[in-house]
Structure 1
């Protein structure tokens, strides 16, 4: 059942910028997003970017964020739902890859009303995010326990994620 919630154009633009890796000036590359969080606005009628919870590629490349996945996990709340998009870098036995992962975060501590509106609005987001190979419904930190949880979502032949050997 659809909620009628709409996805802001800014969210779609951000997704498209994350999806397509363009040749650009170093300054622009540093502003590219590694991870974003999406939330409902106060009126509960639009899905917007949470500007306070994001990871920039420049912060990772400059060493300001040592472990992007751990930093990403710390951005989730125990009592509020959200959607997230994470640009995972990983290696298989054959090659290096980058893929976007869409996460629907619905923790046990969130209210039933909030869980329902996020569940019914998810389709609006996923329709806009054409090309995302991995979707992950996560209901608590135990499901995001460590990088091995992410590896299991990406496939069985993963040997490293974010340059951490498994």
Structure 2
């Protein structure tokens, strides 16, 4: 079992070591397309929720985000530049839907900065309250 890193001073939430391990697998080894992270049921620790392999689609990723609850997510976005050069950007997404419980939104918002710092190598960031804010077009707009 992995040990937790230090608890977040502002929210008291710890980050499970597995979160960084899986992020490094996505970033360095390109083993995953996406990772979602969830607060455990006691609200004390951020843990890995779901992992999508490299073959999963963007729709698979967005449908893995719950309609009524918050998540942290990482998405490795592949695209072509205007010169047709293949590139990739790692997106960090704070998913906080409008219909999520207020306590959940507050807990995720207060843990956001600390969690982001644990994942070294994030290139772009989005905060989304509904699916339109994380559409494929929204990502494409950010990488131009």
Give TM-score, length-normalised by structure 1.
0.76
| Aligned residues of 1:36 and 1:54 also touching (Cα < 8 A) | yes
2:17 maps to 1:9: yes
Matched pairs, number: 135
Question: Which of 29, 50, 65 is 1:76 aligned to?
Answer: 65
Structure-2 separation of matches of 1:130 and 1:36: 15
Structure 1 residue 20, shift from structure 2 partner: 0.8
Map of 1:15-164 to 2, 5 A cutoff? Answer: 15-21=23-29, 32-50=31-49, 53-57=50-54, 60=55, 65=56, 68-94=57-83, 95-144=85-134, 146-155=135-144
Give TM-score, length-normalised by structure 2.
0.87
Greater radius of gyration (CA): 1
| Aligned residues of 1:2 and 1:123 also touching (Cα < 8 A) | no
Gaps of 5+ in 2: 1-8
- Report the secondary structure of 2:139's partner residue: helix
Structure number with higher relative contact order (C-alpha < 8 Å, ≥ 6 residues apart):
1
- Report the secondary structure of 2:66's partner residue: coil
- Report the secondary structure of 1:114's partner residue: helix
Structure-2 separation of matches of 1:3 and 1:154: 32
Structure-1 separation of matches of 2:51 and 2:119: 18
What do you get for the CA RMSD once the two structures are aligned? 1.5
Q: Map Cα deviations across residues 115-165 of structure 1 (whole Å, 9 max, x no partner).
A: 000000011211111121101000111213x3211101222xxxxxxxxxx
Q: Map Cα deviations across residues 16-46 of structure 1 (whole Å, 9 max, x no partner).
A: 111113xxxxxxx7xx211111000112111
